[in-house]
Chains A and B, each alone.
Chain A
Amino acid sequence: MSAIVHARKLSKSYGTTKALDAVDFEIDAGRIVGLIGPNGAGKTTALKAILGLTDYEGELQVLGFDPHTQRTQLMEQVCFIADVAVLPRWLRVREAIEFVAGVHPRFSREKCLAFLSHTKVGQDMRVRELSKGMIVQLHLALVMAIDARLLVLDEPTLGLDILYRKAFYESLLSDYFDEQKTIIVTTHQVEEIEHILTDLMFIRDGKVVLAATMDEVGDRYAEVMVNPDKADAARSLKPLNERQVFGKSIFLFDGVDRARLAQLGELHKPSVADLFVATMKGTYA
């Protein structure tokens, strides 16, 4: 399978802070990758590098292009939604559609209008008259009408209520995503996108600390609910994390044999959020 994004020793510094520290990663076609990390870990910098919005050291190829020097060609294949606040407030919906239709060779006006017909967004409205949720609906309609190969979402649902958030990811999955397309998404609301991800990438202090498919994550990590009498036995197996629920301990293990864990208690697939908390322990300390 050919990689859509290919990064080798990708670095970017702001002054003395290393936002990205010699990072290697690859993203294959047809995947939905969750790029997840604490604030200031370098997620946005990584996305900016992929989108050609910042310079960087190291090697980076997106769809075979160098994003920084070939941004214009790259943007015919790549779409992105930064967050809800980036559509200019003076713009009218009609003008936004006319503009994107005019500059983007892969935009379908019919598709865009079809998406918008399911919303309350009117053609003559200005962006400043729309609610946050409606702005995202408009932006998503514009983006989904573009037949792009890579879609980058940076906190696309920030500040939206749960109805809009659910609808956002649902339409993304049912009306947009297929095996020809790739989506990279960052969000702090991990639990909401967990079920749509195919790949997981954790980033911390400018380094990729975990890059795996969701299947691999399921194989590698296990959560066990352990009664107090077996807790010491569990601790001896070096769990990543331990937390207490209703007098029982929940341990998170990385790469420990399942048969052994099953003897300690009830086995679960860990949630991405729990995995994230365990991996990022001590980040802000």
Chain B
Amino acid sequence: MNTLPLLVKREYWEHRGGFLWTPVWVTGITLLLTVLGLVTAEIFRSRAHVQVGFSLDMLRQDIDAKDWANAGYGLDVVQFVFGALPCIGLFFVLFFYLLGALYDDRRDRSVLFWKSLPVSDLATVASKALSAMFVAPLIALAVSTLAYLAFLVIVGLWLSVHGLNVLPAIAASHPFRTVWRMFLTIPVDALWALPAIGWLMFWSAWARSKPFLWAVMLPILVVFANWWIGVLGGPHFAGVLDVAKILGRLLLSVMPGGWMSLDAAGVVREWMPHAGDTNGSGLLAPERLLDVMTSANLWIGVAAGLALLAAAVWLRGRRIEVNV
């Protein structure tokens, strides 16, 4: 039986709005702003004969090989930004998707329909976790890559109107390398996100009402109570920062690339190239991903996430009713 792929497809059917249309809108608006920016520049140019930004004529005259390399690197960064933009949307999509994953169908009672079919609770929970780990990010990457191509076409046309050829800049950029490296971040994101996926799905399966309160307010209250007891001189965890860090991992790790910042993985991160690295080979360098993949932080999180998911599977077999 091809149950698991079909279950993942089911998730896509239900959450097409979040998985597909959110990145389409985010990148679409970016493209629209690009076009509006170019149109604005043109209007100002023709109205006052003012050169906005840089001089295209100058560019045409003085361009040399090094400038093309820089332009190529610039395009790599633009491609990276196109990939990163939908990730902000993806964070919210995934956060609320996971909170509702094992709750919404109990609330509208459609869980009774899904449970009338020979599908195990393990397969159900796995399909939802896998959708958050791989399906949504892969769709976002595909959409942003298409949007980047559209961006190249728009900018290329605009430059050619002004007698500039964009092809040397594209030739100097590394679109395949960049998309491959962004693709490689998806499994890292997925493993990094596991504690949050487990945490959110656990409360989604546990809550009889308002999973958001359980998943978000409860830990905040715990931290606050811990701090307050500490102020009163009672027994508490002294490392408030550590508690907050753990909470951050449980709540916020579905943010793609969350391991890049805040010393999260306990390794030195230099995701952007050094000065002088003219071909931009340091951008999302795979050997740095490897550092994250071998960090204790990541694997402790993976273990915690799998334990929470196992608890979610167990709860899914026992909790059906909600308080409406």
Taking Cβ atoms with an 8 Å cutoff, the residues of A that contact B are: 48, 51, 53-55, 68, 71-76, 78-82, 85-92, 95, 98-100, 102-105, 139
Contact = CB atoms under 8 A, between A and B. Distances in A.
Contact of B13 (A51, A91, A102): A91
B161 interface: no
* Number of chain B interface residues as a range: 20 to 34
A102 B120 CA distance: 14
B3 A102 contact: yes
Q: List the 7 closest A-B pairs by CB distance, nearest first.
A: A88-B110, A102-B6, A75-B118, A82-B112, A72-B120, A76-B118, A86-B112
A103 B13 contact: no
B274 interface: no
A55 B318 contact: yes
Contacts of A102: 1-3, 6
B116 interface: yes
B113 A86 contact: yes
Given A71-B317, A103-B117, 14 more contacts: A55-B318, A75-B115, A80-B116, A85-B108, A86-B111, A86-B112, A89-B108, A89-B110, A91-B13, A99-B117, A100-B117, A102-B3, A102-B6, A105-B1
Nearest to B111: A86
Q: Which of A54, A88, A104 has the most CB of B within 10 A?
A: A88
Given A80-B116, A103-B117, A88 B3 contact: no
B11 to A, nearest CB: 11
Contact of A103 (B1, B105, B111, B320): B1
A72 B119 contact: yes
Contacts of B9: 99
B3 A53 contact: no
A53 B117 contact: no
Contacts of A76: 118
B245 interface: no
Given A92-B13, A99-B10, A102-B6, A75 B110 contact: no
A73 B13 CA distance: 26
Interface in B301-324: 317-318, 320
Contact of B110 (A73, A87, A95): A87
A85 B107 CA distance: 11
5 contacts: A86-B113, A87-B110, A89-B110, A103-B3, A104-B117
A104 B109 contact: no
